[in-house]
Amino acid sequence: MQINGIEIEDTFAEAFDMTGTRIIITASEPDWAQRAAEAMTGFATSVIGCGVEAGIERFLDSDQTPDGRPGVAILLFSMSGSELEKQLVRRVGQCVLTCPSTSVFAGLDSEKRIAMGSRLRYFGDGHQISKKIGRERYWRIPVMDGEFVCQDTVGRQAAVGGGNFLVLAETIHGALHACDSAVRAIKRLRDCITPFPGGVARSGSKVGSKYKMLGASTNDAFCPTLREQTKSYVLDQTSAALELVIDGLNPEIVGHAMRVGIQAACEVGPACGVKKITGGNYGGKLGKHHFHLHELMSTSV
């Protein structure tokens, strides 16, 4: 299979089960909602070292938020509900509660709930008050610019992490431009994020390591400098391989995001020196979600 003269390898990307949630940060001005969101989603690229994978899903107008103020929707993914709750409370407490004029609300309705305001309320030192509206409880915590409003709990649901594809190009510059195009296309979608810096990872990993203390290590098969030392998947005419990783609230959106991203990369690919698109997998040993590239792209060729 080829798209715009670029080979789409007959392989699959392997993804795994996660649990995810969405929160909505609002503020008096859009810039402050964005600043809180950017702070909160820092150091959230991979559960391997960060405990959570998080990113900005979309920006919201005042008519799309619970309190009628401009806002940002954030998606967070982790391997368990307890870890997701821990990371959510820490990040909201350190990065949103501290940010002027912000409030935080649940953006996902589900029977499964994790704590948010019920844990953060203690910062009010006894001056906090709660109000129940319908079946939802909200906390009002006094702070130096007025009150921080925070929903008591947020919903969480089953999710999928680790959907991916790799772009192999002649130069790093070409690979970056093609990946930028793919990330921009994926960002137009809802219910998914690309958690790595700028949406792209250059340190793709494999499961395991020669060092017992590491559960993951560099994906040597795609390292150009190791072409002569390992079983290499780097083409002779390419010098860079970059990976886009996608987390989503369901398998369908992950597959759709991969399709959209690959198509966008291939549209600019010839001018960027892209030679091949492939997927990262571990022989089916990592996760049960297998996204076969030819199947995904069959409607796009």
Residue showing tokens 């806002």: 71
Query: Mean pLDDT, to the nearest integer, of 167-196?
Result: 98
Query: Mean pLDDT, to the nearest integer, of 199-210?
Result: 93
Quote the longest CA-to-CA distance of the chain.
Answer: 66
- 301, pLDDT greater than 70: no
Least confident stretch, 7-16, 19-28, 201-210, 287-296: 201-210
Q: What is the CA radius of gyration of the chain?
A: 21
Taking only the tens place, the pLDDT of each residue in 128-146 is 999 999 999 999 999 999 9
Is the domain of 153 the same as that of 165? no
Instruction: Return all residues near 211 (Cβ < 8 A) that are at least 6 apart.
Output: 217
Query: Mean pLDDT, to the nearest integer, of 55-75?
Result: 98
Percent of the chain with pLDDT over 90: 95
Contact in structure between 69 and 27 (CB atoms under 8 Å): yes
- 24, pLDDT greater than 70: yes
d(CA 55, CA 173): 24
Is the domain of 133 the same as that of 42? yes
Residue showing tokens 């994978």: 53
Is the domain of 139 the same as that of 182? no
Is the domain of 250 the same as that of 279? yes
Taking only the tens place, the pLDDT of each residue in 87-114 is 999 999 999 999 999 999 999 999 999 9
Per-residue pLDDT at 283: 84
Range of the domain at 113: 19-157
Per-residue pLDDT at 300: 59
Is the domain of 28 the same as that of 132? yes
d(CA 262, CA 166): 9
Burial of 38 per CB tally in 10 Å (0-12, 13-18, 19+): middle
d(CA 237, CA 283): 26
d(CA 126, CA 115): 19
d(CA 64, CA 16): 31
Q: How many domains does the structure of the chain reveal? A: 2
d(CA 275, CA 152): 50
Is the domain of 151 the same as that of 277? no
- Residue 300: closest CA among 249, 251, 265, 254: 265
Query: Mean pLDDT, to the nearest integer, of 176-184?
Result: 98
Taking only the tens place, the pLDDT of each residue in 210-260 is 999 998 899 999 999 999 999 999 999 999 999 999 999 999 999 999 999
Residue that finishes a domain, picked among 133, 157, 181 = 157
Residue that finishes a domain, picked among 129, 157, 185 = 157
Q: Across all residues in the chain, what is the average pLDDT?
A: 96
This prediction has a pTM of 0.95
Is the domain of 86 the same as that of 211? no
Is the domain of 83 the same as that of 194? no
Residue that finishes a domain, picked among 157, 172, 195 = 157
Is the domain of 214 the same as that of 283? yes
- 207, pLDDT greater than 90: no
The CATH number that applies at residue 226 is: 3.30.70.520
Is the domain of 66 the same as that of 37? yes
Per-residue pLDDT at 286: 85
Per-residue pLDDT at 282: 85
Per-residue pLDDT at 215: 87
Is the domain of 24 the same as that of 143? yes
CA dihedral 207, 210, 214, 215 (to 10 degrees): 20
Phi, psi for 110 (deg, rounded to 5)? -155, 155
Is the domain of 141 the same as that of 226? no
pLDDT higher for 207 or 63? 63
